[in-house]
Structure 1
Amino acid sequence: MRYPVRTLSTRRRHPLAGVFVILGALGIAAVLYMAFAPKGATADTSSLDDIEAGRELFVIGCASCHGQNAEGIVTASGGNYGPSLIGVGAAAVDFQVGTGRMPMAQTAPQAPRKTPEYTAEETKQLAAYIASLGPGPAIPEEEYLDVENASAEEISLGGEFFRTNCTACHNSVGAGGALPDGRYAPTLKGVSAKHIYEAMQTGPQQMPVFSDDVITPEDKRAIIAYIKAIQDEPNYGGFGGGGIGPVADGIWVWLFGIGGLVGFAIWIAAHGTRSTKKPKGAQQ
């Protein structure tokens, strides 16, 4: 009666038993991750016609900086004249070209937002071509951009995410702010929901990347809902001073408030009651 038990115990203690247990646990973890991992925001932007048209646009307008095959161009000193675009995804192209940041008008620490030089259709074609070169973030689906009917709970959640991850650079109301080396966090006022999402997804320039594994598409939508909500709120305190923070707003108080009082006091002192005392030797 003891022999089967002894045999089972011997098999459990086989040197490879631990390896199989670890492999089994990893397999189970992989299956669970595939089943419950947050779904990425994807959109089908590719077609053979779009890719071919995007290739032609790229060679004419972008290859001089990014290389004929988007592999990037390295300067003689070892610097990066134009970075590689392989693997940046359609979302990066849609953001940079759709906001007019690319192509750059001139070399600068940061590409400013300006009027786009490509139409929406051309931007879509460029994005399709770059997406065909390697996997990368796709243009988000419309369901993650519709914040018109966002609930109060969703806006509140978005505010928590925004204050935790974004206010250090973009200010508590998205007004933007200065950064080192001549760079800056741009204002979010007037920026479309799609471009806000793509900026979080791709991390343009000095901005960190908030992938869908870090901030889910649903939470990104909540952040966008919060940004749009605070931009629609009136200035209950009166003149908001641009909403760029209490220190900057306080300057207006000192310049026009305290400064006006000081100036008024000086004026009173200069035009108030004058002394009637006569100098010595004057006739009484």
Structure 2
Amino acid sequence: MRLLNRFAGRLSRNRRGSVAGLLVMVLGLLITGTTYAALTPAQAELRSHTDTELIQEGRELFLVGCAFCHGQNGEGVLTADGERALGPALAGVGAGAVDFYLSTGRMPLQAPGQQSPRKAPAYTPSEIDALSAYIATLGPGPGVPAHGDYSTDGLTDDEKQEAILRGGQFFLTNCTACHNFDGSGGAMPWGKKAPTLKGVEPRHVYAAMLVGPGEMPVFSNDVLRPEDKRDIIAYLESIHDGPKYGGVFALGGLGPVSEGLFAWLVGIGACVGFAIWIAAHTTRSSKKKGSEA
């Protein structure tokens, strides 16, 4: 206390000196640094505690709704004969896969083994976040896509057009075999179906390329760069928002299946009907000429 009073006395006597301002600044920096160092560990501890609670909530939800097929610890479950998985192991699928399957309603399945269609989600967004956080602790995997990963908001108009062109070239080369040229989807072998990409949120399209649901291959960032994924999404948004010049004759954009069916039923059907009409008309004309003779 005596030392503090002596320091204060000296500071008071020299408050108009050249070193007084420097001493005040140093003292302020020391107080600020000490306060920050004291509060930062507390904030980090609070954040860690919050993450722990989120993971624990996800663990509880998992045990109730997911463990029957995926195991108590996400190790997967085999059928009684051991020939196929009732539910696959979840270690390493990442938070991105959990968010994709739950946000699109593909999980939980009504029956194991069936193809998972898109439907209304069974979990709330907060529950999906908790389950994603828990599964992410089982092993490293892709995270939930951020808005900047798939959005072209930061690009100029010319850059957006270039992105659409690049995305269209890749999509038409690699994706139309299953999803058709405009993303309408279509039939696949073994009774499977490629889903339509119309009306799908961009983040779900991006996540699907990372996760590879169903028959779709996985396009990791090493195989397909994040900007390439963004360009594909830009192309899909451009064709979905564009005008439908074919109108009703676009036939849903399903490609040769619907076009071939239309050609057989309408085109060839009209030709057959016209041929029958000609034959019938010719027969009546021949009978009329014969009776006149």
Residue 89 of structure 1 aligns with which residue? 94
In structure 1, the residue matched to 2:27 is none
Q: State the AA in 2 paired with 1:170.
A: H
d(CA) in 2 for partners of 1:246, 1:165: 17
CA 1:171/1:140 → structure 2, altered by over 3 Å: closer, same or farther? Answer: same
- Check 1:133–1:108 CA distance in 2 against 1; reply closer, same or farther (3 A cut): closer
Map 1:194-213 onto structure 2 (within 5 A). 194-213=203-222
After superposing the two structures, state which structure 1 stretch, 76-85 or 209-218, moved more.
76-85
Indicate the residue corresponding to 1:266 in structure 2: 276
Looking at structure 2, the residues matched to 233 and 250 of structure 1 have their Cα atoms a distance apart, in angstroms, of 25
Q: Which has the higher helix share?
A: 2
Task: Note the 1:97-108 alignment, pairs <5 A.
Answer: 97-108=102-113
In structure 1, the gaps of 5 or more residues are 1-45
Q: Separation in 1 of the partners of 2:79 and 2:257? A: 43
Report the equivalent of 2:3.
Answer: none
How many residues are matched? 236
Secondary structure at the residue paired with 2:190? coil
CA contact (8 A) 2:149 2:226 kept: yes
Shift of 1:221: 0.5
Task: Tell me whether 1:67 sits opposite 2:71 in the alignment.
Answer: yes
Say if 1:109 and 1:183, in contact at 8 Å, map to a contact too: no
Deviation at 1:168, TM superposition (A): 2.1
Q: Check if 1:222 corresponds to 2:231.
A: yes
Out of 260, 267, 270, the position equivalent to 1:250 is 260
Alignment-derived partner of residue 191 in structure 1:
200
SS of 1:47's partner is helix
Offset, 1:225:
0.6
Normalized against structure 2, the TM-score is what?
0.73
Residues 195-251 of structure 1, C-alpha deviations (whole Å, 9 max, x = no match)? 111110011122111001111111110111111111222232342111111353132
Question: What is the CA–CA distance in structure 2 between the aligned matches of 1:234 and 1:265, rounded to whole Å?
Answer: 38
Structure-1 residue corresponding to 2:136 = 131
List aligned pairs for 1:110-149, cutoff 5 A: 110-147=115-152
Which of 159-168 and 132-141 deviates more?
159-168
Shift of 1:159: 1.1
Partner SS state of residue 217, structure 2: coil
Q: What are the superposed Cα offsets for residues 34-82 of structure 1, whole Å, 9 maximum, x if unpaired? A: xxxxxxxxxxxx9223212111111110011111111111233223111
Report the alpha carbon displacement of residue 89 of structure 1 after superposing the two structures with TM: 0.2
Take 1:139 and 1:115, find their aligned partners in 2: how far apart are those partners?
19
Alpha-carbon separation, structure 2, partners of 1:222 and 1:166: 13
1:109/1:182 contact within 8 Å kept? no
Look up the SS of the partner of 1:181 in the other structure: helix
How big is each residue's C-alpha offset from its partner over 1:106-140, in whole Å with a ceiling of 9 and x where there is no partner? Answer: 23442122221111221111111101221110001
The percentage of aligned residue pairs carrying the same residue is 56
Offset at residue 263 of structure 1 (A): 1.8
Give the 3-state SS of the residue equivalent to 2:189 in structure 1. Answer: coil
- The alpha-carbon distance between structure 1 residues 278 and 180, as it changes in their structure 2 partners (threshold 3 A), is closer
SS of 2:288's equivalent in the other structure is coil
Cα distance in 1, alignment partners of residues 193 and 281 from structure 2? 48
Q: Structure 2 counterpart of 1:243, which letter?
A: G
| TM-superposed deviation, 1:152 | 0.6
Stretches of 4+ moved more than 3 A in 1? 147-150, 267-274
C-alpha distance in 2 between matches for 1:223 and 1:153: 11
Distance, in Å, in 2 between the alignment partners of 1:61 and 1:109 is 18
**Alignment match of 2:180 (pick from 171, 177, 184):** 171
Question: Could you tell me how far 1:257 is from its partner in structure 2?
Answer: 3.1
